[in-house]
Structure 1
């Protein structure tokens, strides 16, 4: 091979080896590449190389001129003492000097930026930049992978949580006392719980794939309710209604249905679910209550006693026809009005207030009040009132039965007035009898005395017949003269 020498000026050499170091035989730095000088501006020329750099490879405890020679023509790794910069390259003899050529060892593009270096600060043939780009891409990919792993883990946690919730909901639906039905978007049954099987008599396998209306509804099922359910299902709207269904053995039963569509994130219907509460007993009770209400409503409406229902604030809720006849009002005129203010005479308001307090304490009682009719007439009513309770036992008002006793009351008052008048007249007669008694006794006593004197003076001259007459006269006089004021008592009976 021919002996060829290469000659470069400083700029050319710096463009090829921007991180070179020229070292003399005394191990002093004679020259630094332009980029290395930018990277390590604190290193000055003619300073000791071994004070500015340490050998990491090969490793020496103490570097000197002797062992420095051992580093030639091999891979060396230098560490700048005043800065965390590592250089990787080789040292070759260059005449009587030594030349280090290499490049810094950066772990990332970020370190290049932090050291204020750009692509122009590196040789075009330096593979470090490409390697750093690869590392950066790998770092980005690793970061994206880590983010993806984190996202997958989060989704896994959410999925596990959803799975747990689904298991809980599934358990709840399975053991729910009410019937639970899940259908596909076509309304075909996919799943039912045990309560559905118990209520209807159908097992799971018998109903899967069927529409509930094909086997649960019958001739007495309301067509309007069926149409309502069909409309709500077709539009994906929630539904809430009561419907008459039939069991497997065609026994009728009532259910209250609550249901709605399940939609995906795009708002498309994917399933339906419904909860059916068996309300057969409730319906039977309502029917019985309706029958009893109709039966007793007729009795209440036609009985001669007035019935009035009020709330806890004494506002009228209901009255029968007899009460309306008693008061002179129509139903529209009294419903919602305060009973005491509308119907009570001023003298009776205090009594009614006390009775209303007693009702709130659960006390029933009978009492008489003076009421006023629509025409302003005073009427005497006997009221038998008691508290009214709701189904939970709470007092919600009172109910009173009213009897108009005005005629009887007037007769009693008339009797009292007659008795007072008779008593007064008896007293007057008694006083008169005292006077008459005195006036009658005085002449009779005189007659009695005169007869006694006549008999004494003429005893021998009168015949027995005459004496008998005188005795008869004396007997009559004594009898009529012995009465007193007590004999007048017959006027008082």
Structure 2
């Protein structure tokens, strides 16, 4: 709610309201800035100047500069006030008249009209104007003149200041021109329209262009002509608008066509009104610097690449060092461990940390004396050394003599002196055992070959002697019958021994790689009956029943007939031997893919599962408590496997276990004619 006007009076005891009605363009507002009353004529011009409206929402104070507050009006009561309506921008001029003891500001004014034609546009008539006191009119005139005088004084002071600034600016311009003409940097000045207005001599030296050739061209057009993709007009404008210096490096083209790098700084040159009048551009030829930076960048890239490669190689070497299946360590000259890999730590039976900084006497005393002797020899000669089949005992395996190959390499310092040693240790204990076993196996094979030859030599004359005795008819008939039975037993044993010796000789030949197959086209079905004939006496003696199954079509192979007969005879002999009397043996043949397959099956003593893979080894036997099972020496199956493999085939055995029989399978490649 607005406060009413006070009841006090001005000079002459005129009531306040009567005084205000004499001035139809009056306005009053309180200390809170709220309009309390407005003259009727004023309301015609400013209809929003209603009681209750805020003065600052209706008017703007044009002069003097300040706030629409009673305190400001009291302080400037002697000045001419001009208000502007915010809705229609119409001006109201007048004075402020204080009311004694009141916070209300009273403005007595009149519209600022330039001619009478504006009355109708304002919605006013002559009746809206009151007859004023001449003294009041004179007062308003004096205030207007005083205000105009103040404006003239301020204008004169401003002109003096501007003249001084202009003189100073001209002096600065002369200094700037002197500096610009002597600098090595290219300097460009533009006019208000951004056209080239002046360039210094350095500009011509840098670009090759003279002012006569490019004067008047727009700055951005000139720069973009050589590097259109490099100049961002929006970015430059935004930077300059913010009052900052625009900086950019541009690849430019000289007048002679050569390229160069130009670093530019563009800044505004404001005029007296602090508005942009022109631009100044300072350009520096940074071609050499750019080349140096590029060379440095490439050098850094190359250095980074080299560092990465060195790091990669270091990582690879470190990986090799830690995963190599040999022991590796670094010693100083006093044989203290500087670095140790996992393998050497395991050889010595101590952790890696337990090695570092310790001497070889502390970590591996069992080999320290020998290692020290080897190391001192390398230090003395400054040359690598290798020691093979060295022995020693370590904490990893106490009481066990271990074998090693050791390689020593000296490490030199910058003076070329031995600063340390690298030791590579390869344990060969297991390899040495294998080597010893192979040597023993080689000697065994040589012994068997020699034994077989020595045994076979007397067998032939013994066989001949037995045959001669059988043919001699001078014996007594009764004695002769007994001798004939003994002779037949002796002859069978000689034949058996001969086969054993022959098998030993075959194994020896195969082992030494001296056997040669006499290959020829052969029907496998013609081979099998010959093998049966060789074991027929044993079959009949034990009462076995042999069944034979074969296809009607032949099974052609490329093989050695004698060796193939030997293979299947050995398999049949094995079946006869390990099948109790009256057993059943089945021999079958057929084609499976590109292989000719022969099977020998029996219902004999069978093979334990754990023996299925080893029965093909030389001298391997399955322990059975039968005289015939103990009669062999375990070379028949080994010989059969070797001969089959020489033919490019393979063998296998199957059994359901002890007492459930066995089956042996032989697969040999069919001849090429049948494959096609």
Question: TM-score scaled by structure 2?
Answer: 0.25
Question: TM-score scaled by structure 1?
Answer: 0.33
Answer 1 or 2: higher relative contact order, Cα 8 Å, separation at least 6. Answer: 1
More helix by share: 1
